[in-house]
Amino acid sequence: MKNNPLISIIIPTLNSEKTLEQCLKSIKNQSYQNYEIIIVDGGSEDKTIGIAEKFNAKVINANIKNMSKQTNIGISNSDGLYIYRVDSDVILNPKILEKSIEKCENEGYDGVCINWIPDESISFWAKVRKIEKESYVKHLNYVGAIKYDKNVAGATFLRRDVIDSVGGFEENVPTFGEDFALFNKLAKSKFHFAVIDVYELHIGEPKTLMEVVRKNFRYGRAAKTFLKDQGTKKGAKQYSPAGRIHLTDAFKNAFKNDKRLFLGLAIYIFALYASASIGFIYSVIRRSQN
């Protein structure tokens, strides 16, 4: 790699004090050091801004609770040749920036799909989600990004000109599927994406089953916007159990390792899709009444 291009790391935040410091520490510890951090805050009422400033991040007080708009604001205020959109509740593997840059600069890829793995120390349900996610990542690495990701995965590390060519993140999809919406546009343009073998560690894991239900109920309420924007057939394929072929392996691994995890996975998948479906139906009924 002849040059060390600047990476702009964009982090949308909203009351993120519980996880943001760990996230920023993991960025500070990257093996590749030519980056800038841009925090675009949606109106936090906790210590989020103070934590960001402690790490010398550029802070933009957007006061907009829309992750896609926040990300686009960050991109428009950044200087990097590459854009890496990061959630505030993940810890980055120290090699993520280095490996992503190598894929793009040395191998000619337009972007990188960076997967996350649940922090299983958080709760039993995090352990369950880790089994499901590991099976997904195994399939993704085996099949390859473009072939499999057209239905499932999103790309978060991209060349700036690639993002600019499709108009940035889809602002009509604010909180549910915004990464998929962007990737769907990119896939149509025949860009090429790589998958790397290092991950983000998701520390914002649910501690109880009720947290899983509440979160996916909210996602279900937002899904109507995603399906309308992306097309019902495409959106349903990306989020339905039928579109997630890795689940068979997940159940096999859970059964082999721990019968409690097998039962937990069954309960989790049911709770996930049941609560999301109820949320979706609720949103349809509410809109029909307005």
Per-residue pLDDT tens digits for 108-140: 999 998 989 999 999 999 999 998 888 776 655
Domains of the chain by range and CATH? Answer: 7-205 (3.90.550.10)
For 211-261, write each residue's pLDDT tens digit. 999 999 988 887 766 666 555 455 555 555 544 546 777 787 777 878 899
pLDDT, residue 138, reads: 67
- Phi and psi at 69, nearest 5°, equal -65, -40
* Sheet (strand 111-113) strand order: 58-61, 35-41, 7-13, 82-85, 157-159, 111-113, 193-195
Q: Which residue reads 């210590």 in tokens? A: 47
For 69-123, write each residue's pLDDT tens digit. 999 999 999 999 999 999 999 999 999 999 999 999 999 999 998 989 999 999 9
Q: Give the residue among 26, 28, 200 at the shortest CA–CA distance from 112.
A: 200
- Tokens of residue 52, six digits: 């960001």
For 38-52, write each residue's pLDDT tens digit. 999 999 999 999 999
Task: Give dist(CA 123, CA 88) in Å, integer.
Answer: 19
